[in-house]
Amino acid sequence: MPIWHKVATLEEIPALGSRVVVTGQGNIALFRTADGAVFALHDKCPHKGGPLSQGIVHGSKVTCPLHGWSIQLEDGQAVAPDKGCARVVPCKVENGEVLLEVV
C-alpha cells in the first residue's frame, strides 16, 4: 500500500535547488522551482545514472551534472533529441510540508 510520507518542509529545499531523500528503494531527488512547485524523481539520470539531485534546476527542468542531459521535472522525460525517462515519484505540498507517496 503506498502511503504519503512527510519528508521535509518547503523551506528546507532551496528555490531552484534540490534535496536528496534516502529510502530503501534508492535515493529520491526533490526539486523546487522558482514559483515554489515541488517535484520528485528517482535520483538517476536515464542516460548514465547520474545523480539528478546535483544538477542545476531551471524553469521546470533539471540538467544532469554528468553529461548535461535535461530532464523535465513533471514527467521525468528527457528533453529532445535525447530520449529516456527518470521515474516520477508522486509528491505534493500541504501546509508548507512536502509529502512523498512511497510504497
Smallest distance, Å, CB 64 to other proteins? Answer: 9
Smallest distance, Å, CB 15 to other proteins? Answer: 7
Q: Which residue has the cell 508548507?
A: 96
Smallest distance, Å, CB 39 to other proteins? Answer: 15
Residues with Cβ within 8 Å of 100's Cβ and at least 6 positions away in sequence, in order, are 4, 5, 7, 21, 28, 30, 40, 89, 90, 91
Smallest distance, Å, CB 49 to other proteins? Answer: 8
The C-alpha atoms of residue 65 and residue 50 are separated, in whole angstroms, by 7
Binding site for other proteins (CB under 8 A): 5, 7-8, 12, 14-17, 19-23, 27, 30, 34, 48, 50-51, 54-59, 63, 65-68, 70, 81, 100, 102
Instruction: Rank residues 37 and 75 by Cβ distance to other proteins and give the closer one.
Output: 37
Beta sheet of 97-102, edge-to-edge order: 3-9, 97-102, 91-94
